[in-house]
Chain A
Amino acid sequence: MTVAVYLPLLVCVVLAVSSRAVAKALPPRAGLWTLTAAAVIAAAGTVWTCLLLGSLLVDDIPAFDAAERLVPVHDAVSLVGVAILGVGAVRSFLALRRLVQARRRLRRLGALPGGELLVVADARPDAFAVPGSRTGGGRVVVTQGMLRALDAGQRRALIAHERAHLRARHSVALALAELAAAMNPLLVPVRRSIGFLCERDADEDAVVVAGSRRLVAQALAAAALARSASAAASSLAPGFHQLSVAERVSALLTPEPVTHRRLLWAVGAMTLLAAGAAFDATRDFASILVMLVAR
């Protein structure tokens, strides 16, 4: 149990350290869901680990001396587990509230009359997708400033990209990643990688619709440069930086990006290892509990 109980944390560390490199090498569609599953399982494993460690504090009752000897976990470690759990719970609550609020505001925006494309009277170039309900729907929101910054082919790429987000239900992966990263801050880089893979996936879908990798790359570049020009001119609050647009552009400018399907299995295997370890630790823990009850 002593080793197994810490394995989910170790997996979080490995995911965090490798996520940036892994994100660039994974096939986007399969990669984003594999990484999302890994993040969720790793976050759940963190909770479980901390619960197990924390519950050992209870064993300080004199009658449980025998159990103490069986479970060589220092009280300080247990306390750290409890602290991580507490911080994670608060962060998760705040993240959940932020998600719900954002979703509510987005839904209000999405409920405005019109078709799938909703044009906004704003000179600053911006564009994003608003997820619909479970049954579908969803809107593509584009400012007038963005439409004027692009030519016809680039607008085609932009619309195809945002529609791809909606069809592939990327909002689900992003919300799960957000919550996992809130529970365990070690997973913040993983969340960023999932965001990057969602963008890459939508870019590749846009290539199919627009018919040219180069065209999508140019659309990204034109939109990003227009956006940064406008940000400089109007002191627009700088948006959150995902893995950079430049990396997406260079992936599009390579004829066929090199991805490694083997990496999917590596991430999957590591996640299963964490889940297995958590299970193993739980079993040991349960047998100790049974022993305690039997005394």
Chain B
Amino acid sequence: MAGRGAARSRRSAGQLEGEILSALWAADGPMTAAEVQVAVGGDLAYNTVHTILTRLHAKGQVHRLGPAGRSTYRPVKGAAEVAAEQMRAVLNGGADRGEILMRFVTTLDAADEAALRAALDAEGSS
């Protein structure tokens, strides 16, 4: 696979929307575009952040508050509670068994946790 392990990050529009929305969700209150730019980290230009925030607002995924130019943004939370219920239904319904669910990480057992800490320690000291 050419390009794997490349030093530069390459991010698509979908990826960037996800990152910006997740930054808003992780924050405690509304954020300005400049604050979002910092919260997303890395090398994103202010204009890019602003464009994506505008697009998210147009799609109804974020609220825009305050006057133009000094607006703050916060995520639309309507679906989140419903989603929580639906998610519990999915997880209790047996999707948890087997490998049906494409989960980021599974629960660790004690041995896993020790191995994980050891791997990170070894990396940190090298």
Contacts and interface: CB of A to CB of B under 8 A. Distances in A.
Contacts of A240: 96-99, 106
Interface in B67-102: 75-84, 86-87, 89-91, 93-102
B109 to A, nearest CB: 7
Interface in A205-259: 207-214, 217-218, 220-221, 223-225, 227-228, 231, 236-242, 244-246, 249-250, 253, 255-256
Contact of B104 (A152, A158, A241): A158
Given A158-B104, A240-B98, A115 B17 contact: yes
Contacts of B106: 224, 227, 239-242, 245
A241 to B, nearest CB: 6
A208 B10 CA distance: 7
Contacts of B15: 156, 159-160, 163, 209
A240 B81 CA distance: 25
B116 A115 contact: no
A121 B39 contact: no
B93 A122 contact: no
Given A211-B6, A245-B116, A119 B25 contact: yes
Given A102-B100, A198-B102, A208-B10, A118 B59 contact: no
B80 A211 contact: no
B110 to A, nearest CB: 9
A141 B14 contact: no
B108 A245 contact: yes
Q: Which one of A156, A220, A250 has the greatest number of beta carbons of chain B within 10 Å?
A: A156
Contacts of A246: 108, 112, 115-116, 119
A105 B87 CA distance: 8
Q: Which of B75, B93, B108 has the most CB atoms of chain A within a 10 A radius of its CB?
A: B108
A141 B96 contact: no
A131 B119 CA distance: 32
A152 B79 contact: no
B117 to A, nearest CB: 8
Contact of A155 (B14, B22, B60, B90): B22
A225 B8 CA distance: 28
A204 to B, nearest CB: 6
Contacts of A127: 103-105
B56 interface: yes
Given A214-B123, A245-B116, A102 B99 contact: no
A114 to B, nearest CB: 5
Given A102-B93, A102-B95, A105-B93, A115 B59 contact: yes
B19 A152 contact: yes
A231 B89 CA distance: 18
Nearest to B82: A112
A74 interface: no
B116 A221 contact: yes
Given A127-B105, A249-B120, A250-B119, 11 more contacts: A117-B18, A119-B21, A152-B39, A158-B104, A198-B102, A209-B11, A211-B9, A211-B10, A240-B99, A245-B105, A250-B115
Interface of A: 29, 95, 98-99, 101-102, 105-106, 108-109, 112-122, 126-129, 131, 140-144, 146-148, 150-153, 155-156, 158-163, 165, 170-171, 174-175, 177-178, 191-192, 194-195, 198, 202, 204, 207-214, 217-218, 220-221, 223-225, 227-228, 231, 236-242, 244-246, 249-250, 253, 255-256
10 contacts: A98-B97, A116-B17, A119-B21, A121-B80, A155-B19, A156-B19, A159-B15, A177-B99, A250-B119, A255-B5
Q: Which 5 A-B pairs have the closest CB atoms?
A: A211-B9, A195-B99, A152-B41, A246-B115, A121-B80
